[in-house]
């Protein structure tokens, strides 16, 4: 598999935020979001057999793993890697951009699925049928760039009754919207979502890689 980065850090997002976590960043992505902060993962990476990945991971002595990208499902071997990690009793979070069929992700992994808002310029590529395969252990993530993204997200949440199906995360494109502004909107609308900051961008410099 082509791996862009493999490192241990603090999980900065999701309901697992704040916990020590091993990150496996897989090279390659089929989307080109307007605000992408991991463009370096489109091509750069090193070939690693699954066995070597498992060895590196075992050395970190942490049982929470986040498979991210790029887009993990752009590599056909990702489901096998996830299965190996699950067999090793790891808790596996899989961050996916929502454009691939998430049934490729093994059942016991936790899916963290983006729902791309219009300002990303990628919302037309969402695989909307995925919503039917989400569970309460999974999480969907809206990354907002503007008030119109927020209004769009509210409509999607209502249309698909997302809060009855799964957990909902709302965050902002770093530096595009003030967190307090979005929090105010959420409170005014009584929206049943979890607001999140990308913790790692506050702990380290926002552009720092491998943290």
Binding of ligand SF4 at residue 171 (CB under 6 A)?
no
Binding of ligand SF4 at residue 71 (CB under 6 A)?
yes
Count of residues that interact with ligand SF4, criterion CB under 6 A: 11
* 84 Cβ contact list (under 8 Å, min separation 6): 50, 54
Binding of ligand SF4 at residue 53 (CB under 6 A)?
no
β-partners of residue 79 are none
Tokens at 163, concatenated: 């809060």
Of 69-77, 78-86, 153-161, 200-208: span binding ligand SF4 (CB under 6 A):
69-77
Of 18-26, 35-43, 104-112, 192-200: span binding ligand SF4 (CB under 6 A):
35-43
Binding of ligand SF4 at residue 97 (CB under 6 A)?
yes
Report the distance separating Cα 94 and Cα 102, nearest Å. 10
Interface pick for ligand SF4 out of 7, 17, 19, 38 (rule CB under 6 A): 38
Cα atoms in the Cβ-side hemisphere of radius 13 Å centred on 48: 22
Interface pick for ligand SF4 out of 45, 69, 72, 171 (rule CB under 6 A): 69
How far from 60 is each of 37, 56, 57, CA to CA, in Å? Answer: 25, 7, 6
Interface pick for ligand SF4 out of 70, 109, 168, 170 (rule CB under 6 A): 70
Residue 191: count other Cβ atoms within 10 Å of its Cβ: 18
β-partners of residue 115 are none
Return residues touching ligand SF4 (CB under 6 A): 29, 31-33, 36, 38, 41, 69-71, 97
């Amino acid at each position: 598999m082509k791996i862009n980065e493999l490192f241990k850090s603090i999980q900065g997002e999701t309901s697992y935020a704040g916990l020590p976590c091993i990150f496996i960043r897989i090279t390659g992505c089929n989307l080109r979001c307007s605000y992408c902060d991991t463009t370096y993962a489109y091509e750069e990476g090193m070939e690693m057999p699954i066995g070597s990945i498992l060895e590196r991971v075992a050395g970190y002595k942490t049982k929470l793993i986040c498979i991210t990208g790029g887009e993990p499902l752009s590599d056909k071997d990702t489901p096998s890697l996830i299965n190996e990690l699950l067999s090793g009793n790891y808790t596996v979070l899989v961050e996916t951009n929502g454009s691939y069929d998430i049934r490729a992700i093994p059942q016991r992994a936790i899916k963290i699925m983006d729902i791309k808002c219009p300002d990303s310029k990628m919302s037309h590529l969402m695989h909307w049928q995925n919503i039917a395969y989400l569970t309460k252990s999974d999480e969907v993530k809206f990354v907002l760039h503007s008030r119109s993204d927020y209004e769009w997200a509210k409509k999607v949440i209502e249309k698909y009754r997302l809060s009855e199906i799964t957990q909902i995360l709302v965050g902002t494109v770093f530096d595009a919207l003030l967190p307090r502004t979005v929090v105010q909107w959420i409170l005014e609308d009584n929206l049943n979502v979890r607001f999140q900051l990308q913790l790692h961008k506050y702990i380290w410099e926002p552009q720092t890689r491998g943290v």
